[in-house]
Structure 1
Amino acid sequence: MTRTAWISLTTDYGLTDGFVAACHGVIARMAPAARVIDITHLVPPGDVRRGAAVLAQTVPHLPYGVHIGVVDPGVGTARRGIALVTPGGLLVGPDNGLLLPAATALGGVTSAVELTDPGWLAPRVSRTFHGRDVFAPVAARLAGGATPADAGPPVDPDTLVRLPPPVLRRMAGGFTAEVLTVDHFGNVQLAAEPALLDEVGDRPLVADQPAVRGRTFGDAPAGALVLFADSADLVAVAVHGGRAADLLGLVPGDLVTVRAGG
């Protein structure tokens, strides 16, 4: 494999403990020339779907590298640790659905391995901190040019764990979609493609609240809802100068109906 200068980290570790620093330290000791991009460490604890969405929407904009994802409520159980090879980069993390959307965004899985070779891992592997003891060491070796196939036995990509598809139901004059993410600004991202906005007109209702269809936040009056295509090319709801999630009382996993206004 080709040596790469880049490793990214996406976790739910937070910023108040030393977990992130420990992963950085392992990488620095094993691959001192590698540069680390912290995508986020503020994924809600155990929220695999949110971590998968953040990772998938970010990695296409990063340089070719090794991307570590650790949102891992099943750590220490029988769930597999895996490395995925794609045309656009390598992915390392738990086999719980977290990595596959990002793999798709990078061109699809061309091969996969289970991380079982003890020579690739920390000398002692904690049952509860595989980010430090499994995934960071593997990523550092891959960044140094090691071959993924040497990390463990091959995995049939068809056996990889997949998250259930988000809910999207089309209906006459609108649709019902699952909330995928709520960002730092309170903008609500839906599991719907922007083409569906053509069915709801310029004055839609979002959860029975009046909104305007726009291209950006300022297309709505101050304090009003605006429905638009976001930077990930998905339908999103925002409030000009406010927080749509708070106004509508929405969290990831909720269902929202968007329909043409009367």
Structure 2
Amino acid sequence: MPHTSDVGYDWVCFTTDYGRADGFPAVCEGVIARTAPHARVLHVSHEVPRQDVRGGADLLVRSVPYLPRAVHLAVVDPGVGTARRPVAIVSPEGVLIGPDNGLLPAAAEVLGGAIAAYEITEFHLEPVSATFHGRDVFAPAAAQVANGVNPNALGPAVDLDTLIRLPEPVTHIEPGRVTTEVIGADSFGNVQLAVTDLVADPGTVVHAQVGDRSLEAVVGRTFADARSGDAVVLLDSAGRVAIAVNGGSAAEILLPRPGDRAVLLLAAAPAPPARS
């Protein structure tokens, strides 16, 4: 019998790049339901851009502070079927289950920091498909932990220092210029950047360039600080600088891809009027 703990989970929060067309999320949810019928599945997103590990990691970081105490099942897995490890990372506020490719550690930090990690070698469905570990490896492990199985029963301990971590995005801030990276774009067409400081006052004019495309924007606090159809640079709900178009899509103009270089050129703020 698996070693159980006195701590189970009522929720499995589920994030993937699977999309909805092929039924993959439903199959994984079915595996969870067969093993842990009490656990409710909260679908965070299945629209992470295909194989975009950084985008998935960023989505988790933005989401987990607002989710219930849970098993966080996340699968964005370009290396499925290779030697990359399936892992469970234990944090004070939940257990994260998914591939060891950089997807999970930043979210573990948000949940209080990684306490322990285990390679998932037990509870697989058999036979294990080389291309669908979400169904055959990760969902069964998530269900067992939701049932109260101690994560240390999933497999051997993993040295936390060996977990794959994504490199930090490169950002340089200098007078009048910010150079950073694109994290992604949301379904509204807002382009999210790695930088978290606007370094400019509201009303400052910005020339925003991503790759070989650009637009003119104004620094603002809300979308409405730009006229309808015009662009605004603001801090979004995740605390990152974003390029948006009021009533439109900055992504359709800039065609950003995750990791693209982004440059914000800031116009000099107007001088205050002279006192008479």
Same fold (TM over 0.5): yes
Match of 1:244 in 2: 250
Structure 1 segments, 4+ long, off by >3 Å, are 198-201
Alpha-carbon deviations, 1:12-47, whole Å to 9, x = none? 111111211110100000000100011111122211
**8 Å CA contact 2:202, 2:220 repeated in 1:** no
**8 Å CA contact 2:177, 2:263 repeated in 1:** yes
Alpha-carbon deviations, 1:130-166, whole Å to 9, x = none? 1011100100010111101111111111100111221
1:35-184 matches, cutoff 5 A:
35-117=40-122, 120-184=123-187
- Check if 1:189 corresponds to 2:192: yes
Inter-partner Cα distance in structure 1 for 2:169 and 2:203: 24
Q: CA deviation at 1:251?
A: 2.3
**8 Å CA contact 1:201, 1:260 repeated in 2:** no
Q: CA deviation at 1:173?
A: 2.1
Which runs of no fewer than 5 residues in structure 1 stay unpaired?
none
Q: CA deviation at 1:211?
A: 1.4
The residue type equivalent to 1:40 in the other structure is: S
Match of 2:21 in 1: 16
**8 Å CA contact 1:220, 1:226 repeated in 2:** yes
Q: Secondary structure at the match of 1:197?
A: coil
Match of 2:274 in 1: none
**8 Å CA contact 1:200, 1:261 repeated in 2:** no
The residue type equivalent to 2:158 in the other structure is: V
Question: How high is the sequence identity, in percent, across the aligned residues?
Answer: 52
**8 Å CA contact 1:206, 1:257 repeated in 2:** yes
Higher radius of gyration, 1 or 2: 2
Q: Relative to structure 1, is the Cα distance of residues 168 and 201 closer, same or farther in structure 2, using a 3 angstrom cutoff? A: farther
**8 Å CA contact 1:53, 1:181 repeated in 2:** no
How many matched pairs? 259
Q: Secondary structure at the match of 2:200?
A: helix
**8 Å CA contact 1:210, 1:261 repeated in 2:** no
Q: TM-score, normalised by structure 1?
A: 0.94
**8 Å CA contact 2:221, 2:235 repeated in 1:** yes
**8 Å CA contact 1:100, 1:162 repeated in 2:** yes
Q: CA deviation at 1:199?
A: 7.4
Match of 1:4 in 2: 9
Alpha-carbon deviations, 1:112-135, whole Å to 9, x = none? 000112xx2213211111101110
Q: CA deviation at 1:108?
A: 1.4
